[in-house]
Amino acid sequence: MSEYILEMKSIIKKFPGTLALNKVDFNLKEGEVMALIGENGAGKSTLMNVLMGVYAPDEGEILLNNKIIENKSPYDALKKGIGMVPQELNLVSDISIAENIFLGLHQKNKGLIDWNLTKEKAKEVLNKLNVDINPMIKVKNISSAFQQLVSIARTLVFGSNIIILDEPTASLTINETQHLFDNIRKLKAEGKSIIIITHHLEEVTQLSDRVTIMRDGQLVKICNTCELSIDDMIFCMANQKVEKKVKTKRNVLDENYMEVKNFSRKNEFENINFKVKKGEILGVAGLVGAGRTELFNCIYGLTKKASGKVYIEGREIEINSPSVAIHNYIGLVPEERRKLGMFPILPIYENVMIPSYSNTKKNGLIDFKTVKETTDLHIEKLRIKTPSNMTLIKNLSGGNQQKVILARWMEKKVKLLILDEPTRGIDVRAKGEIYTLINEMADNGITIIFISSEIDELIKVADRIMVMHGGKVKGFVDAEENLESEDILKIALQ
């Protein structure tokens, strides 16, 4: 009898031009937290998608409680007690929390859905997760943290004993993350087995009993978490030591590129004033709900302002749509990369070149030979890991998707680039590569707005940090190396 409740043996999965999983083994014990880590493109999500029945393995077998199983769909896996909370939550936003929890498992009385029973049972399972919220509220009206817990509740009502959490803390505040961790520990104490995929290695050391490390579609190591330091984990993931760069003070021209005056939008931000210099990296810090994303979405023309003015190089411009922003050489890498930043069913070359097609025309027609050659130059320069420029962007890892979007604006030769949470869900090495790209762009005179919830990241990358709270600018601070996260929080809360 095996000590594992779940075993995946010699799993092989191939995609056109890619060996995504190469004889990967994975195992899980009852009542443990297993961390699954690796760089973007290592095969972590692919392995879990094989387990969930999203993909069929080309070779290998899966054993649950010592019996070979075959999951043909996520619903099939759910019925066997394996549930997954994906990074991009798949809840139905326009129906209630209770309906989402019991979707596919309706509580019925005499053949009809019993809404009172549904509400009561939803409240019971939410109480187990220490969530005090009306289960009849629509999902679209609750925070990311509550949506995360609703997804976990959904796996519990299906009787899941194995719960997979993919980047569960990506959009959570510190307090929300701690609440989630408390629930994970509670579920573990009840005998549930948890698989957590994360790029935050501090979470691995805090939460997990064992760790599985993957690299380039292969298993590198399975061991007790206590046997590895964070530096050891990074080395196993990257097959090399990732050097920590010392922050060097950049010389920024004393020449304003953009100025924003008295910018307001009802219920989002109020009377915003700031300037940013040519070639400067302006970090934007603030707790969730500070209004950072809302402000720059409005500046970019995605929403309409109530009042205020924007000046570019001293000239007032009225940006009432993203096309006007692009015409003025302003680019945006949005927070919701997969939903708003890319065209998932189009290949890499389309995603890179869409804003720049007008520059490639010959006799009024797009010259696709030039388009693909130009894309290949970006792939080589940014070290985008892909079989070819024809690969659909949705099939790339998060870090490589982000590089494609950066390549889009580099090709468009934007003069101002707004980056909203550009490294969310990206591994340590890919983060370093993106930091280097941002610095190179700024050194070439491109003005960068860098919005991030990770204060340490802002201190590392930015020249100056604008601190927001409650829809207002609370202050500015130079991003010196000796600056601490607490210094930023004090400004935000003053």
Alpha-carbon dihedral of residues 74, 77, 82, 86, nearest 10 degrees? Answer: -10
Q: Do 34 and 168 sit in the same domain of this protein?
A: yes
CB atoms within 10 A of CB 114: 14
Residue 243 inside a domain? The answer is no
Residue 481 inside a domain? The answer is yes
Boundaries of domain holding 484: 256-493
Q: Which amino acid is at 266?
A: K
**Closest by alpha carbon to 288, among 366, 178, 174, 367?**
174
Q: Which amino acid is at 451?
A: I
Q: Do 233 and 260 sit in the same domain of this protein?
A: no
Q: Do 468 and 379 sit in the same domain of this protein?
A: yes
Residue 126 inside a domain? The answer is yes
Q: Do 168 and 309 sit in the same domain of this protein?
A: no
Q: Do 222 and 343 sit in the same domain of this protein?
A: no
Q: Do 118 and 229 sit in the same domain of this protein?
A: yes
- Consecutive sets of 10 residues in the chain, 494 residues long: mean pLDDT of each? 90 87 95 92 90 94 94 91 85 88 76 81 88 88 83 88 88 78 92 92 92 94 94 87 68 89 93 95 85 93 94 94 94 86 93 90 88 93 89 86 91 94 81 88 94 87 92 89 78 74
Residue 244 inside a domain? The answer is no
Query: Per the structure block, which two tokens stand in for 33?
Result: 């937290």
Q: Which amino acid is at 143?
A: S
**Closest by alpha carbon to 349, among 327, 364, 367, 333?**
367
CB atoms within 10 A of CB 193: 24
Residue that finishes a domain, picked among 196, 212, 238: 238
Residue 173 inside a domain? The answer is yes
Q: At 424, phi and psi to the nearest 5? A: -65, 130
Q: Do 332 and 451 sit in the same domain of this protein?
A: yes
Q: Do 230 and 265 sit in the same domain of this protein?
A: no
Residue that finishes a domain, picked among 210, 238, 266: 238
Q: Do 25 and 57 sit in the same domain of this protein?
A: yes
Residue 92 inside a domain? The answer is yes
How many Å apart are CA 286 and CA 4, to the nearest integer?
44
Residue 247 inside a domain? The answer is no
- What is the enclosing helix (H) or strand (E) of 271? strand 269-277
**Residue 243's pLDDT is what?**
63
Residue 268 inside a domain? The answer is yes
How many Å apart are CA 237 and CA 239, to the nearest integer?
6
Residue that finishes a domain, picked among 238, 272, 306: 238
Pairing status of strand 6-15 against strand 18-28:
antiparallel
Q: Do 341 and 474 sit in the same domain of this protein?
A: yes
- Local structure of 46: helix, strand or coil: helix
| CATH number of the domain to which 136 belongs | 3.40.50.300
Return the sign of the alpha-carbon dihedral for residues 476, 479, 480, 485.
positive
Q: At 342, phi and psi to the nearest 5? A: -150, 165
Q: Do 285 and 410 sit in the same domain of this protein?
A: yes
Q: Do 267 and 229 sit in the same domain of this protein?
A: no
464 HSE (CA, 13 A, CB side): 17
Domain count, the chain: 2
| Close Cβ partners of 381 (under 8 Å, ≥ 6 residues apart) | none
